[in-house]
A and B are shown apart, each in its own frame.
Chain A
Amino acid sequence: MQKRYIIGIGIIAIASIASIYLLSEAQVQYTTIQDARLTGKKVQIKGQWVERDEAYYDQLNNSFYFTLADETGEKIKVIYNGAKPNHLELAEAIVVRGRVEGSYFLATDILTKCPSKYEGAKPLSTQIP
């Protein structure tokens, strides 16, 4: 009986240590552009899409180039390996995931935060002149 518990606790302990280690490996922090530049680690940055008329999509290389301003206001050029995400114009904020390389932020994912993702646009009552 006792032995069973010791083995059980042992397995649970090993499993939790392993998963906590893997979790710390798999976590990607939300941070600022400055921090991302310093560490060079894979991070997430929440910010705004700015200088929108300069953004463009290079169809041959399948890369979308745009400028992101983080919450401190700092800007960085982002190269996203893919087409311009759908609904980017509508996003009230965007989150890019990737790392800084040179003067660019190479994004592997872009999350768009749409206020209207699951809700339609305006409530009827605010359409009143």
Chain B
Amino acid sequence: MIAQFLIHLSLGIAVAFCWGYLTASLKKNTNALQSARALYYLYTLVLLIISALLLYALVTHNFDYSYVQAYSSRYLEPPFLYAAFYAGQEGSFLLWALVTSFVGIAVIEYSKKQGNEAEVMSFFSLVPLFLSLMLVAKNPFSFLWETYASEGSTRELIELIKIEQSRYEGRGLNPVLQNYWIMLHPPMLFSGFAMISVPYAFAMAGLLRREYHDWVRLTQPWIIAASLTLGIGITLGGFWAYETLGWGGFWAWDPVENSSLVPWLLTVSLFHTTLIQRRTKGLVRTNFVLVVAAFSAVLYSTFLTRSGVLGDTSVHSFVEPGFFVYVLLLIFLLGFTGLGVGLLLARFRDISSVSRRIGVFEPTSREFQLAVGAGLLIASAVIVLLGTSYPIAAELIGKPKVAIEPEFYNKTHFPLIALILLANGLSLIANWSTTPLFPAIRSIIPWIGISVLAGGAAFISGIVPSLAAAAVFACSAFALSINLRHIVRLISAAKYRALGAFISHAGLATLTAGVLVLSFTSKSAHLQLVENEPQRALGYTFTLLGREQVDLHLSDREKFRYPVLVESKSTRAIAYAIVYFSDFNQRQAPFLEPGIVRFAGEDVYISPKAIDEKPSYPVITLRKYIPAQLPTDTTWRIQLLAFDMSKAAANPNRSELELGVRVRLSSRKGETIDTTLYAIFDGQTFSPKMVSISSIDAALALLRIQRNQTAPDSSTATIGLISSKLDNSKPRNVLVVDASIKPMINLVWIGFLTMLGGMFISTVRSFRSSISAPRTMATTKDVSHQSTMHHHLTTPETEKQA
């Protein structure tokens, strides 16, 4: 009860501080400002208490709450029990609200020093207001008897159930999510989302105050921090998909992946265009448009993933949240976008009358190359957005339902990434404002030489199959070598803080090369691994060593790992493919996790597809009329005469069917034995009734019938021959897998890590310089200000020329 009250209270407080900040900014009222600030701190405290209450409910297994009942169970152990906090919509909105409130405190402290707290917070406060409203609508503390009232649940019934402890149980957390990545991936994404609202708020405040440049300087650290955090979140998701979910790759162009990529792309491009604005005072309106677009993309992404509109096309989507939430999300999406666009339009003329660009934006200038790069990133964002929204748009205008193939994104991004890397390389060679053409051409020649060599080598060695792919490879070599050169120079000059941009771009180039190599040289094979029978494929020998049950202490699951020995001439290692059955789906279908062996050059990726057991006795598969020799005694032959469905037909409504086959055994000596073999089929498995036949010294068992109605004669029956002479030891395990080798996958991970590492350095540097720059200085020295990273990008070459 108290938690429900607190959620409503948080909405009340949010309304109050929104009002307070608005009053403070419109009437310059310091009292209002101070109380709004106090209320904001109170709001954060209330959210902390609400979150603690939810955690407490989870830890104490209070299944009175439908959220706790829906996403956890007594079997759920820490840390997954804590992660159940944000396993559903309600909790993840709470997490988002909590992270946003923390970010808001940082924004208050940050903007207080800049003297624009009232205006900035007037806009920022709208985000917690929105999230609190969402929490009221999707309350994680609603009781079972409230949630399921329409299904006849009442408080009394729940109290009755409670007496019987075993039935007072939660549904549990989806086993797919029970992985340590869940501890990091969602919180990172939400932190990134929360941070993107900061530049939006500062930009809106800038428009309101008619300060069109200052917000750029102030929020650059936030922009890069948001790119970093969201980037980490996305990367973790990709690694999770590869390592545990067994999707085989790290990126599937799934709509939900796409909808987190679009805000990232826009934020990264915003970072680049703000660099240009700080240098040239140009792109003022572009940056306002971009900041609104980036924040709207976050809301659009939320709308896509939470409203259920993607239901048909995604692996991620949550269940339908209800009409009210759908409308609420739509209102907020349109509201925040409309506010941004409206304010910008209101100031549109004012901006052009006030702002004067410095320089002429020559094609040979660094700002031009940066703009090209940013434009390409925007193009990528637009393409991904188009592809993701197209099925929804088609449905809205009444066209037939469609899906977009991942090929669309691959095709379009192939040239895009090449051009982005090219622009990056060129931007490092070019100077700000203008570059003398001939020295630039002279300095570019060695880099072109290196990249042509790299592309050519990749093509000739067969790493990339086409000249187009070789060209992309050459572009990544171009960007990589130029960035590496700068990294070396900066390190030798001990200018470590300026390294960020070069490291992250080197990372992007590495990532691109890795993805290229991986997508063109990855090979896969379908294998049926029988225990202790080595199989050769893909240059390795695969041997299934057996099966062992793990996690024995957890009674809600039956978990097996299948060790597969992977050997080549030089290496050997064991991959553990995981197959488990969980109470989560009443153990009806297994959950599968890939086994991965990581060699330096490549990963061997073993994705389980099916499990089976191979009997240790001989098995014959018979087609009608075609006789087969008995493997145990070659003087005897067996023939399938007919299928006998009479017993099954007699009881058509039974869930268990008794199926039969009539078979004839005939020996060379002329003996003939006719018999009918039966087995009970329960829809899943065959339980045979064995028939002992003394003349062949064995028992026959009907193991399986494979009916083919269109061609009845091709129907088959599988019969086991259980001989008394044979050693009827334990059946052997069979694991059906898709095995693949992933060459240079480490290049991809290194690329991701390097890119994010570079962003981290830039973030730290950007915050330091931005905090240390006092405001009065900044406004007057905006152009010559030396605090952002790109000002230090002036390369040794360009310094010489300048």
Contact = CB atoms under 8 A, between A and B. Distances in A.
Contacts of B161: 124, 127-128
A127 B164 CA distance: 12
B609 A83 contact: yes
B151 A127 contact: no
A118 B177 CA distance: 9
A120 B736 contact: no
Nearest to B528: A59
A60 interface: yes
Contacts of A53: 657, 681, 683, 707
25 contacts: A19-B383, A23-B386, A26-B404, A28-B405, A31-B400, A51-B709, A54-B708, A54-B709, A59-B610, A59-B734, A89-B588, A95-B312, A97-B403, A113-B312, A116-B585, A119-B319, A120-B172, A121-B585, A123-B144, A123-B148, A123-B151, A125-B153, A126-B148, A127-B167, A128-B157
Interface residues of B, number: 69
A42 B219 CA distance: 48
Contacts of A84: 610
B400 A30 contact: yes
Contact of A88 (B158, B411, B589, B736): B589
In order of increasing CB-CB distance, the 8 nearest A-B pairs are A120-B171, A125-B153, A26-B408, A83-B609, A30-B401, A62-B526, A125-B148, A27-B402
A113 B312 CA distance: 8
Given A26-B387, A97-B403, A120-B170, 15 more contacts: A4-B361, A19-B412, A26-B405, A26-B408, A30-B403, A54-B706, A82-B609, A122-B171, A123-B151, A123-B153, A124-B170, A124-B171, A126-B148, A126-B151, A128-B161
B390 interface: yes
Contacts of A88: 589
B169 interface: yes
A86 B526 CA distance: 16
A118 B403 CA distance: 22
Q: Which of B152, B361, B402 counts the most chain A CB atoms within 10 A?
A: B402
Interface string A31-60: 100000000000010000001111011011
Given A59-B528, A86-B590, A124-B169, A22 B412 contact: yes
B69 A124 contact: yes
A25 B387 CA distance: 12
A90 interface: yes
B35 interface: no
B174 interface: yes
A121 B404 CA distance: 31
Contacts of B151: 123, 125-126
Interface string A52-93: 111011011010000000000000010000111011111000
A122 B657 CA distance: 29
Contacts of B590: 86
B70 A120 contact: yes
A31 B400 CA distance: 8
B239 interface: no
Nearest to B400: A29
B592 A125 contact: no
Contact of A15 (B70, B157, B379, B405): B379
A28 B318 CA distance: 23
A56 B706 contact: yes
Given A59-B736, A123-B151, A124-B158, A28 B402 contact: yes
A16 to B, nearest CB: 8
Contacts of B379: 15
A2 to B, nearest CB: 14
B632 to A, nearest CB: 23
B319 A118 contact: yes
A88 B411 CA distance: 31
Contacts of B394: 27
Interface in B738-780: 738
A92 B578 CA distance: 26
B582 to A, nearest CB: 10
Contacts of A103: 710
Nearest to B162: A124
B589 A90 contact: yes
Contact of B390 (A23, A57, A90, A127): A23
Which of A83, A84, A120 is most buried by chain B, counting CB atoms within 10 A of its CB? A120
Nearest to B390: A23
A120 B319 CA distance: 12
Contacts of B710: 77, 103
B709 A19 contact: no
A90 B171 contact: no
Interface string B686-724: 000000000000000000001111100000000000000
Interface in B531-590: 584-586, 588-590
Given A26-B407, A56-B706, A119-B319, A19 B70 contact: no
B677 to A, nearest CB: 17
Interface string B138-162: 0000001101100111000110110
